Amino acid sequence: MTENILNIEGLKTYFFTEAGIVKAVDDISFNLKKNESLGLVGESGSGKTVTALSVLRIVPKPGKIIDGKVEFNGDDLLEKTEKEMQKMRGSEIAIIFQDPSSSLNPVYNVETQLRDVILAHQTVPKAETRKKVIELLEVVGIPEAETRMREYPHQFSGGMKQRVAIARALACEPTLLFADEPTTNLDVTIQAQVLNLLNDLKKKFNMSLVMITHDMGIIAEMTTRIVVLYAGRVCEIAKTHDLFERPRHPYTEALLAAVPRLDMKKTLRIIPGNIPNLIEPPSGCRFHPRCKHAKNTCKEKIPVLEEIEPEHFVACHEWQNISLKGERKH
Ligand SMILES: Nc1ncnc2c1ncn2[C@@H]1O[C@H](COP(=O)(O)OP(=O)(O)OP(=O)(O)O)[C@@H](O)[C@H]1O
Ligand code: SF4
Ligand SMILES: [Mg+2]
C-alpha cells in the first residue's frame, strides 16, 4: 500500500517544566521510505532525540506528545495503547543510544539480557535461545561469544558494549532502527567499525534506519536523505548529495561550513549566535536572529516547508533570492 514505513505529520512534543513550556518538537513532518537510511541532523537541542523518543512513545516526563500523527506502516502509533506499543518496541522499532549502558542492565549478564528480550517478543523454545544469543553476538562481531555472553556489561570496552547494545536492539529483528549518536563516545577507529557494522546489519536484516547525529561527515557516509532540524522545526529535507552540493536553507549552509575538512586547513567554524530558548522561541522563522539573510517577514511569518524541486523541501521565505554555498561530499 504505502512505500513509507514511517510518516510523521505535524508532530508536537512539549516539556511542561516549572520554567515554562519547552517546545522541543514543534510541528515536525517527514517520512521514511522502506529500507532507507535517513539522517536527522541539527545542533544540540534541535529536537533530534525527542523526535525519536516520540516515535517510540518513550518521552520522559514532563514531556508529552501533544499533537500530530506518527504512522508506522500506515498505523498511527499515537492511537495505540501502551500495551500495543510495548509490543512494537523491540519487535518492530528499536533504538540505540550514544551511551550503550542506557539500554543495558548492569545487574544481568549479557546472555540473560538478550534471552529476556528474545523471549518477551517471540515464542522460541528455551533451549534454542542460547543458540540465538550466540548467533546475535557473532553477527555484531563479538569474538568468543560463547564465553563472553556470561559476562556483565561493565566487562566490555566502549565499542564492544555498543555492539552488545546493537545485538539487544536486533534481538527481535526490528524493521525500523533509530541510531541516536551511536558512535559519539567512541574512538575514531572503533567509530568507523561500528558504523560499518550498522550499515551491514541494515542490509542483512532489511531495516530502515534513522541515523541521528550532528556529525555531517557521518551523515554523508551513512545516509541517502537528510532532514535538517533547527530549534524543533524542520528547515530542509533533501537527498544527501543535493543537500551537500546545493543547500537551500541558510542554516544548512552554516552547518556544512562548520564541518572540519581534512583537505582544507580550515578550523572549525562555529555557527554564530546562540541556540534559541525553546520556551520563548524567536517569532516567525526561528533562525532569524542568527540569519544574515533575514528580512522583516522572517520575524513575522513562520516559513512553511515547500517542495522547491522534486524531493527537495525548504522552509525559508528567501530561498529564491539567495545563493548559498555547498560542500563537496568527500
Ligand atoms: N526531560 C526534559 N525536560 C525539559 N526539557 C527537555 C527534556 N528533554 C529534552 N528537553 C529539551 O528538548 C529540546 C530538544 O532536546 P533533544 O534532546 O531532542 O535535542 P538533540 O537535538 O537530541 O540534542 P543533542 O545533539 O544534544 O543530543 C532541548 O531544548 C532540551 O532542553
Ligand atoms: S526565513 Fe528568513 S530568517 Fe529564516 S532562514 Fe530564511 S532568510 Fe533566514
Ligand atoms: Mg540527542
Residue 110 to residues 142, 179, 238, 243: CA-CA distances in angstroms?
12, 20, 40, 41
Query: Which residue, by CA, sits nearest to atom 1 of ligand 2?
Result: 316
pLDDT of residue 302 exceeding 90: yes
Q: Which three cell numbers stand for residue 139?
A: 553477527
pLDDT at 269: 57
Percent with pLDDT over 90 in the chain: 79
Length of the chain: 330
Q: How confident is the model at residue 80 (pLDDT cuts 50, 70, 90)?
A: very high
Does ligand 2 lie within 6 Å of residue 294's CB atom?
Answer: yes
Give the C-alpha separation, 102 to 326, whole Å. Answer: 37
pLDDT at 2: 52
CATH class of segment(s) 4-223: alpha beta
Q: How confident is the model at residue 265 (pLDDT cuts 50, 70, 90)?
A: very low
pLDDT of residue 260 exceeding 80: no
* Nearest residue to 225 (alpha-carbon basis) of 148, 310, 284, 145: 310
Give the C-alpha separation, 269 to 90, whole Å. Answer: 39
Q: Mean pLDDT throughout 184-189?
A: 86
What amino acid is encoded at 131 in this protein?
K
The model scores a pTM over 0.85 = yes
Residue 216 burial by Cβ neighbours in a 10 Å radius (0-12, 13-18, 19+):
buried
The string of pLDDT tens digits covering residues 192-248 is 999 999 999 999 999 999 999 988 889 999 999 999 999 999 999 999 999 999 999
Q: Which atom of ligand 1 is nearest to the CA of 42?
A: 21
- State the DSSP string of 242-269: HHHHS--SHHHHHHHHTS--TTTT-PPP
Q: Which residues does 174 contact at the CB level (< 8 Å), separation at least 6?
A: 90, 91, 92, 93, 94, 205, 207
Sequence ranges of the domains in the chain:
4-223
The string of pLDDT tens digits covering residues 98-113 is 999 888 999 999 999 9
Lowest mean pLDDT: which of 25-29, 180-184, 304-308?
A: 180-184
Query: Which residue from 233, 235, 283, 285 has its CB within 8 A of the most atoms of ligand 2, so it is best to mutate?
Result: 285
| Residue 228 contacts residue 254 (beta carbons within 8 Å) | no
Does ligand 1 lie within 6 Å of residue 182's CB atom?
Answer: no
Mean residue pLDDT of the chain comes to: 92
Q: How many CA atoms lie within 13 A of 305 on its CB side?
A: 19
Torsion of CA 216, 222, 224, 228, to 10 degrees: -30
pLDDT of residue 125 exceeding 90: no
Give the C-alpha separation, 3 to 222, whole Å. Answer: 21
| Residue 220 contacts residue 240 (beta carbons within 8 Å) | yes
Dmax over Cα atoms in the chain, in whole Å?
A: 68
Q: Which three cell numbers stand for residue 170?
A: 536486533
